[in-house]
Amino acid sequence: MDSAGSQLALAPLGAGDLIDRAVRLYRRHFLTLIRIAAPPVLVSAAGSAITTIAFRAMSATSSSSRLFLYGLMLLAGGLVIAAGSLCSLIVMGGATRNLVAHLLWDEPVSFRATYAAVKSRFWGLLGASVIVAIWLGFCSWLAITGFYLVFLLLLVLAVAIGRVMPEWIIAIVSIVGTLGGIVAGLILFFLLAGRMAYVPQAMLVEGRSVGSAIARSFSLASGNVRRLMAMTLFTSFATYSALALLIIPLGWYGWANGVNVSPFGTEWPAWYSIGYEVILQCSHILLAPIWMLGLSLLYVDERVRHEGYDIELMAARQLPPMPELPGVISPFAPALVTRRTKQFVAPPAPMPPPSVLGLSR
């Protein structure tokens, strides 16, 4: 294995190291990772196009039957977008297994290996992804609620001090309080959402069931708030930077044809709206592998921090596998399972030694 790949699991990673390693792996396996990440994003892109067409048609039609039809199209587009997002979570588990196999035995990062791993546990991964999506929605609701509570407290405070303080002080307090509410909401969201960050990884790397993988993710995800926030901010910034670069040709063409290309424009023609959505999804295809690699490396890093997973990886690379004894299953999970783990079965108790006269006791 090359030195860069060997060093990936040998030390705990900070937020900057995590992003650096993800970008390095991304550059090394660019085309393969694009192929891996593209199918779920293309599904979401199709849903976005359907939603855009239906929404614009609903505002332009006067027929009640067509309005109902466009409403069904809007619902179908939303379901397709949700299916694409769920598929992205599913593929993330297969990518993590492929990455760990790459770290262990220098297996190539490949489209076939990733989707073969996904196929082996597809229905379990689908159920786990639905649970993760529901949990993320709940965390978002809690974070928004927390932000609005801070905002309401700030509003009451501004009304209370408005009579005795200058307006510029009230403005500063309002800005600082709003930013504080946003930061508090983000911390609350990532504190809760990060608990479910490793469910697909635990299923495909450790061979766990859905319930066991959720419990495993909760036990591993401690102290990862800052790194998750850093990964999210970096990926979001990179995604919209790529979007800005890709949207320039479309914006020039639209401007030349009299389109108001402002991001806040509400009267875009259909072709411009669909082109914008397609380019947005293309930027997601370009940047989704970084998020996928980042979470995979974060999972490996959590096991390094909590369980000495780096020692386990080195032992698995250099030592033969432990022999399997009949009727005995080890309670210690290997670095990468090759089949579904079973419940631990204790070895049979030894027979008592015979007495001196050869009689059984």
**What percent of the chain lies above the pLDDT cut of 70?**
76
Residue 335 confidence (pLDDT): 62
Residue 271 confidence (pLDDT): 76
Comparing C-alpha atoms, which of 35, 40, 54 is closest to residue 274? 54
Q: Is the pLDDT of residue 360 over 80?
A: no
Comparing C-alpha atoms, which of 316, 282, 334 is closest to residue 106? 316
Residue 162 confidence (pLDDT): 63
Residues 6+ apart with CB under 8 A from 325: 347
Give the predicted TM-score (pTM) of the model: 0.71
Separation between Cα atoms, residue 116 and residue 360, nearest integer Å: 55
- The CA distances from residue 340 to 2, 148, 203, in Å, are 30, 45, 9
Separation between Cα atoms, residue 96 and residue 243, nearest integer Å: 27
Average pLDDT of span 143-158: 80
Ranges 49-58, 72-81, 272-281, most confident: 72-81
Task: Provide the token pair at 175.
Answer: 């800005």
Residue 323 confidence (pLDDT): 59
Asked if 155 and 148 touch (Cβ cutoff 8 Å), the reply is: no
Residue 82 confidence (pLDDT): 86
Average pLDDT of span 122-136: 88
Residue 7 confidence (pLDDT): 44
- Dihedral angle computed from the Cα positions of residues 59, 60, 61 and 64, in that order, rounded to the nearest 10 degrees: 10
Residues 6+ apart with CB under 8 A from 180: 150
pLDDT band at 318 (very low <50, low <70, confident <90, very high): low
Average pLDDT, the chain: 75
Residue 314 confidence (pLDDT): 67
Q: Report the chain's terminal Cα–Cα distance, integer Å.
A: 58
pLDDT tens for 11-26 read: 666 777 777 888 888 8
Q: Is the pLDDT of residue 356 over 80?
A: no
- The CA distances from residue 155 to 162, 187, 273, in Å, are 10, 22, 37
Separation between Cα atoms, residue 303 and residue 316, nearest integer Å: 15
Residue 154 confidence (pLDDT): 75
Residue 178 sits at φ, ψ, to 5 deg, of -65, -45
Residue 263 confidence (pLDDT): 62
- The CA distances from residue 342 to 58, 120, 203, in Å, are 53, 16, 13
pLDDT band at 113 (very low <50, low <70, confident <90, very high): confident
What kind and span of H or E run contains 140?
helix 122-161
pLDDT tens for 152-207 read: 787 777 767 666 667 777 777 777 777 877 888 888 888 888 888 888 888 888 88
Q: DSSP secondary structure string, 298-337? A: HHHHHHHHHH-HHHHHHHHHHSPPPPPPTT---SSPPSS-
Separation between Cα atoms, residue 122 and residue 125, nearest integer Å: 5
Of 104-108, 127-131, 141-145, the range with the lowest mean pLDDT is: 104-108
Average pLDDT of span 278-297: 79
Separation between Cα atoms, residue 326 and residue 341, nearest integer Å: 15
CB-facing half-sphere around the CA of 41: CA atoms within 13 A: 21
pLDDT tens for 68-88 read: 888 888 888 889 888 888 888
pLDDT band at 8 (very low <50, low <70, confident <90, very high): very low
Residue 353 confidence (pLDDT): 54
pLDDT band at 319 (very low <50, low <70, confident <90, very high): low
Residue 217 confidence (pLDDT): 87
Separation between Cα atoms, residue 39 and residue 170, nearest integer Å: 50
Average pLDDT of span 294-320: 72
Max CA separation in the chain (angstroms) = 107
Residue 312 gets the label, from left (phi > 0), alpha (psi -120 to 50) or beta, of alpha
pLDDT band at 313 (very low <50, low <70, confident <90, very high): low
> Higher model confidence: residue 302 or residue 143?
143
